[in-house]
Structure 1
């Protein structure tokens, strides 16, 4: 219309109400101006009286024939004028309020859809509101509009922190795609019956209003909504009834004066209409439904029910087991039609006659082969299932889906899951058979380990250096400071000489240039070796450390600052202790005799000292040689026994050069970085096996390097 508001005259008695003052005097409107409280309502009432359909000044007049169309164009009779530049006459297809109105039905305006397709990424809440407002205009064309927009709607909440994640990006793109590929909604044919298909889940209601014309299903409208907090507490029966009541109210203009059929998977409406002494909301619903003329044939629609549940919007706190599946019900149906196994089932069902129990509780979907990988991925990898093990994953999938060899495929999938391999604990025994240390000669290999930090003693000591020979296991009885090389030289090398080889762990004090230079100066620089990372069992000193700690606990209870004062007595205890591996004490291997204690002097008297003087050198050499041979023989027997018992519970490594493996991770917590080792992955990699150094030691190379 041309100046539509101004074509409506204001009655003389009401013109004073529109008066306004200017510098030229008082003025009153003779025609209806903008801004009046009831102006839009008055204008819309006129449009409805004069025209076939109108939204304010956007009007549309439709007719079934050319002659009727000329009669319907009755603007002149009512004194209305139009803007010719904005009018179109005798069209079979036209744009109206963002839609394309055509003979077949109604579809969204492609120009508006192009704007939606090119809509930039939202950067704030207001951008989300604008985008959703644009999309909601076309919600009747999209299945599950609320579900698609749920992640975006969540960002609109004041309590929600703005964070654009992969989920919101996927929702943003999916929403644009669904809108740009929306189907045509058909006009209702009131000469044909309507079908109203409803369903209710734990979180929402769903409905489809359609007709069947010439054997073709024509959708008139889609509908779905969330359940309120109170409605979610309804019984299943009440929710199913609520779905019907909500839908007939929503589509009352279509259903008010005609017969229609309600399709659902329960006979609830018959039950509701046959109830006696109804009260409360059930009575209200029964009274409301009496206004409509419908029938309710029994309809088993578990597949449709799942489709509705997948399409209904899901609340924030609701478990989205089927709602977040990576395929839609339509894709599932199409895949089943192409699947050989599903085809055999359908063929059998069509040939054989049997009875179906409608109230069965074990309905499951037969998963076609093309979608099984997606089912496995969802029921094992999704955040709502948490990478459970084989049994729990099998139980979860079996509650929803069925296919042959399900257990075997789940076990294989879980076994090869890279995330599970890296994060789950390995409770098996460590691989690798026992490799006993090779016995060569006394003072051949010297092992070192630094124990601490211990409580600071009164002399300022914090660490204890433990030195063990392969045969004598004789610890250093001194507290150590920072200059470890000087202490080793003074207390070990200058008294006993340099060993052939030095073995230590990978501590930073043994990896400095000063330490390497010191070892090289004493002729053992080339033979300085280190234990494998995170494998302290390679160092013989570890067992000695446990013994030392046990004895220290008994000595310093109540006063831990005096731990360095008890080291001389602790050393004497270790020197006189008979070792199971050698069969004698370290002092006897060192001196050829046991240390004399006060008790020994009292028991043996003076004769022992006199008898030992004869042939001392020859006897000592022979005695030490015999002791070394005895110790070596005893240790070899002990090693054989230890290896036999150890290998019973362990297996060989058996890695091949070039194979891919994961390496156990040893992260360290950092409070400043907000990192906890308890939540870190247990394994890292993958790595290539680059070379084999021994039966249990391998060199690795990262795949990215």
Structure 2
């Protein structure tokens, strides 16, 4: 026994060692694969960075060559013009001297503007311009004719343009040297006073002292002494205390900072909106000269000054205007007694870093250091990492075609309720977003004077658009825009989706397009022609049309093959969902959905949970007010237990021309692509089996149907009524244009009550109460069709309060309420025989029609409804004649 036990133990140990080795090998293989993936990602990032550096260097070289070519060609043009002008002056041909002087000055201004950013590269700039200057001075010294004598200020203007750029700039800044002096003392007569308001009952915060290096201690002593000498600080024994620390500036100096975070928590916040950075960048369109200052500046001139926190940007188009704008800005600083650090200021630049962008006269692009930071960003490991990466990448999303679609898988990972799992799709999205930002193209700054074009396209799952402007050579992009189509609109038809894309594009760029001259709307399908020729449109289309009519544009019909940019932005296979049939959801139906969710016992709790600030984890979500459930890998629209709401998609997916009355299983399959509700299978089965077209045209594959079972009729009078509305008729002088018909289902007694054909449910309830219930009492049952007014919450609540029950007819089966339908036909025939040719007295004739109808023999009961109701027939004048 002992030998067998040892053998079993050895076998068990061998098995255990084998399993441990296999697990170790698996872990080592996984670690190796992970290391290989990380190395591939690192090599890919290095390669992308190298390509970016090469592209940037190549672009810089090409730009430098182009600038030098412009300088050379400009100099040659000026030399040629000056030579020709002198020759004409010597020959006495000075008829167009005024125009020639203006043209020469314009060319010289452009040449100087081109030379400004090249001063460091062109060391012999003065030598290059010397021949031009000498020829112009010689020309000015020659005598001019009397008509030209009034141009004496031309020489002064020309000399100002000929001055060296550096001297001109320094001269202006030296004039305002007091602004750039080191400030001392406290300015006491400023109109603005500063105060910090604390919340009541707070305890003064105190902070510990941070440890500092020897360099930081030396700088701290120096700065404290300097602040004491200037009178900006003083010794204090205040109960408040906060530690200090240092931050490196761009120039590597140390900036003194105070940690007031604890104090900020106790202060009363003075909230105010910050300027939109995209709006600030868009206002630089056409500006060639820029100047940025870092200081506090309150008075902003909207025409040439932009302010964001403590950054001031002065922008201008011509050089002369820039000098004037700079002078006015410095004068405002002087009047306000503000100081500026000249070392932190940049003057007279055509290219400038501003708010994370590189701004040039031709366009804007992301900063290279920001792009490098994105390229070196490590792979996200949690939700916080994903949000940080998308925060930086999303700042430049206007430069990327289809940003929302590229980042879709990463965006889904921001939900903290779901476990974090960076799958292959999210990893591909992460790398694709890096590559898209690396090769982001330069966007042109919007110029309101240039021709503008909006190109858009929509697919079943995405909207894409691009805003472009023509620079005289070709169309250049200003901004890209893409958006995923909401699930609710994914079931719309193609025309409505295209119109939706146009509306979203106009809302995105409304600040550009509103109030400007006509812009182009490039589209391959002009939806406005279709909708404007229709007699009626739903409220959603009408609201969109009202918004579109605010703008001035003309459609530019293009082929789908030419619409590559917007078409690509609107299409991506992984967002595609099959759409078989479409129908429109208007405002009334949307409100019915939302109200139904809140009252439906199946979805009430789920809707409340998703609407709460901290919803519990579930497969449900709310989008644009609709409740969606995630099942079978799709987000499906939940339909509450309202017969009208459930019947509508049943009819569209079974009766529409595109579906051609398909069978039960196919109808269920198509419905499950978009909708879900409990009992969907049974509802579809009953609906298809009750379809009149299917019963008439399709073969019978089941047992014969049972006999019809009409609604039971109560045995007491006035307990069951049927009601319906007919019309519209010519509007009467009282404003009514319809008839509310009420029939007692037992006695067949009818009442024809005048009303507004499009009256709301409360008004119809008043007509019914005044005309019928006031004299007949409350009925126990009310039969009606599926009119939205009869199925509204108000009507249902009113019926419940009356103690009645509502029995609506089934979908597309008016036979359920056949009594009112027959009464309508009879009443209309009688009206046509009684009214005048102008048809304006039909209301006055309704009592006659009602009496004639109720006093005639009804075939269903063998007597007149009047006799059944009152116990005796209607008396007439013949009763006194006939014995």
After TM superposition, the score normalised by the length of structure 2 is 0.32
Asked which structure has the greater CA Rg, the reply is 1
- Higher helix content, 1 or 2: 2
Q: Which has the higher contact order (CA 8 A, sep 6+)?
A: 1
Q: TM-score, normalised by structure 1?
A: 0.40
